[in-house]
Chains A and B, each alone.
Chain A
Amino acid sequence: MPGIDKAKTAPILRAMGLSRSFGGLHALQDVSLDVPRGCIKGVIGPNGAGKTTLFNLISGSLKPDSGTVCFEERPIQGMKPSRIAAQGISRTFQNIKLFHGMTALENVLVGRHRLGRAGFFGGMLNLPAAGRDERMLLDRAREAIAFIGIEDVAQREVSGLSFGHQRAVELARAIASDPVLLLLDEPAAGLNMKETSDMGALVRKIRDRGVTVLMVEHDMSLVMGICDDITVLNQGRKIFEGAPDAVQRSAEVIRVYLGEVNAEDSQP
Chain B
Amino acid sequence: MSAFKRIMPVLGLALILGLAPAMASLAGARYLLTQMTMSIYYALATVGLCLLMGYAGQISMGHAGFMAIGGYTSSVLTTCNLIGHAQMPAFSLLERSGVLFRTVSADGVSPAVCVAPWAAFLAAIILTIAIALLIGMPVLRLKGHYLAMATMGFGIIVHRMVIGFRALGEADGISGVPAFPVLPGAAISGVISDRLSNYLLAAAALVAGVWLLQNLVHSRAGRALRAIRGSEEAAEASGVDTDRYKLMTFVLSAVFAAAAGSFLAHYNGGIGPSEAGVMKSVRAVALVALGGMANLWGTLFSSLILNFLSLRGVFQSYDDAVFGAILIAAMVFAPHGRIPFFTANAAARAWRRLTGRRGRGGDARD
| A–B contact, 8 Å CB criterion (strictly below) | yes
Residues of A at the B interface (CB closer than 8 Å) are: 59-61, 80-83, 85-86, 90-91, 93, 97-103, 105-107, 109-111, 113-114, 116, 118-120, 122-126, 130-131, 133-134, 137-138, 141, 155, 157, 173, 177
Q: Would you give the shortest CB distance from B273 to chain A, in whole angstroms?
A: 33
Cα distance A126–B3 in the bound complex, in angstroms:
8
Contact-residue bracket for chain B:
35 or more
Question: B195 on the interface (CB 8 Å rule)?
Answer: no
Asked if A113 and B238 make an inter-chain contact with CB atoms under 8 angstroms apart, the answer reads yes
Given the known inter-chain contacts A122-B219, A124-B216, please indicate yes or no for A102 contacting B230, CB distance below 8 A: yes
10 A-B residue pairs with CB within 8 Å? A82-B241, A93-B233, A100-B231, A102-B361, A103-B361, A105-B364, A113-B227, A120-B248, A131-B3, A137-B220
Residues of B at the A interface (CB closer than 8 Å) are: 3, 6, 212-213, 215-216, 218-224, 226-227, 229-231, 233-243, 248, 252, 294, 336, 358, 360-361, 364-365
**Contacting residue for A99 out of B234, B360, B364, CB 8 A:** B234
Chain A contact residues: over half helix, strand or loop, or mixed? helix
Asked if B361 and A82 make an inter-chain contact with CB atoms under 8 angstroms apart, the answer reads no
Asked if A114 and B220 make an inter-chain contact with CB atoms under 8 angstroms apart, the answer reads no
Given the known inter-chain contacts A101-B294, A110-B224, please indicate yes or no for A93 contacting B358, CB distance below 8 A: no
Q: Would you give the shortest CB distance from A61 to chain B, in whole angstroms?
A: 7
**Contacting residue for A114 out of B221, B223, B233, B238, CB 8 A:** B238
Cα distance A93–B336 in the bound complex, in angstroms:
23
Cα distance A137–B241 in the bound complex, in angstroms:
18
Contacts of B215 in A (CB 8 A): 123-126
Q: Would you give the shortest CB distance from A76 to chain B, in whole angstroms?
A: 13
Cα distance A236–B66 in the bound complex, in angstroms:
49
Q: Would you give the shortest CB distance from B360 to chain A, in whole angstroms?
A: 8
Closest A residue to B364 by beta carbon equals A105
Q: Would you give the shortest CB distance from B99 to chain A, in whole angstroms?
A: 26
**Contacting residue for B220 out of A93, A103, A113, CB 8 A:** A113
**Contacting residue for A91 out of B237, B248, B360, CB 8 A:** B237
